Amino acid sequence: MSLTISIDAMGGDHGPQVVIPAAISALKKHPNVNLILVGDQDTIRHHLEQNQVIDDPRLQIHHASQKVEMDELPSQALRGKKDSSMRVAINLVKQGTAAACVSAGNTGALMATARFVLKTLPGIERPAIVSTLPTITGHTYVLDLGANVDSSAAHLVQFAVMGSVLAELVDGKPNPTVGLLNIGSEEIKGNERVKEASRLLEQTDLNYTGYVEGDGLYHGEVDVLVCDGFVGNVALKTSEGVVHMIRHFLRQSFSRNWLTKLAGLIASPVLKHFRNELDPRAYNGANLIGLQGIVIKSHGGADEFAFSNAINIAIIEAEKDVPNNISKHLEVLLEGQVL
């Protein structure tokens, strides 16, 4: 059975220069997938020709006359860019032409447009941004990573439901563990919002294990870690900063003199493995979860490898029908009056 994904070809820092090669790479990996490249048709055709792709029946072009800039206000993009590559790509999901959409564009504009066009799932008040972060045991789904900077206890429970369903479907875990990010593991720790969310989660059928401190994220204590968007975004950006700092000091240490350079050469296989394990590009692709459709946000500065990973995530989540499965789980909670 074939699957169609719409791609915002103009979004991100690099636009079609990165998106087109990544799309071609994705088609090679997934023979059952068709892609719709949305954006300026002349520009897209030019980049396809540069990549020696002239006529591929699995690769369509859908013209869009506008582009959302990376620094553009979400309200301006929503009102004034109705024919933007971002908006049209999301419209294709709404119309059922595409099963999912991928964009590296302006995060705020993407969230605002996706929420306006697709609407949220019944029982979900606010969509969230969810992605995986590497741990010593594999990876953990973390949400929210920045969509909602002020979330209620009920919102945190909704995030937990969505993250749990996602981990179960994508990773095949029948009963994913769920934790709340907090300043301590004791019941007395945390603000009233987190404490109330903990009480609500204990009433659900989720595999809720309690509070998790910041270092527990990287220990892999839970499969899904829940927090509000302010905390989640700070944790994400801090993690990225630590990775860059470690790489900087490693390069600096191994380049001090000929002995350290020799040591670096000997250790290069280990260092390469270390780099691959912590490579943010391998985890690129965040789901705007909670919508009545699948929208995957790629990092704006993603290269071909990273953007290809975002497309892969869109394909997996479309195959697993993530939104409908979240809806089914929410119905159970709503009937039990937990939410």
Q: Cα 201 from chain centroid? A: 24
Q: Which of 232, 244, 242, 206 is nearest to 289 (CA)?
A: 232
**pLDDT on residue 261:** 81
Alpha-carbon Rg for the chain in angstroms? 21
Judge contact between 6 and 114, C-beta under 8 A.
no
**pLDDT on residue 339:** 53
pTM: 0.88
Fold match between 1-122+290-322 and 125-286?
A: yes
Q: pLDDT 10s digit of each residue in the chain, 339 long?
A: 789 999 999 998 999 999 999 999 999 999 999 999 999 999 999 999 888 887 888 999 999 999 999 889 999 999 999 999 999 999 999 999 999 999 999 999 999 999 999 999 988 888 999 988 888 888 899 998 988 888 899 999 999 999 998 998 888 888 899 999 998 877 778 788 999 999 999 988 899 999 999 888 888 889 999 999 999 888 888 888 887 888 888 888 888 888 888 877 887 887 777 666 666 677 777 899 999 999 999 988 889 999 999 999 999 999 999 998 888 877 766 665 555
Spatial distance between the Cα atoms of 267 and 251, rounded to a whole number of angstroms? 12
Domain ranges of the chain: 1-122+290-322, 125-286
Architecture label for domain 1-122+290-322: 3-Layer(aba) Sandwich (3.40)
Cα-based distances in Å from 245 to 40, 221, 239, 241: 39, 25, 10, 6
Helices marked H in 11-98 = 16-29, 41-50, 74-80, 85-94
**pLDDT on residue 333:** 63
Which residue pairs from 229-232 have beta carbons closer than 8 angstroms and sit at least 24 positions apart in sequence? 229/128, 229/129, 229/144, 229/145, 229/146, 229/147, 229/148, 229/149, 229/151, 230/146, 230/149, 230/150, 231/181, 232/129, 232/142, 232/143, 232/144, 232/145, 232/146, 232/181
The highest-level CATH class for domain 125-286 is alpha beta
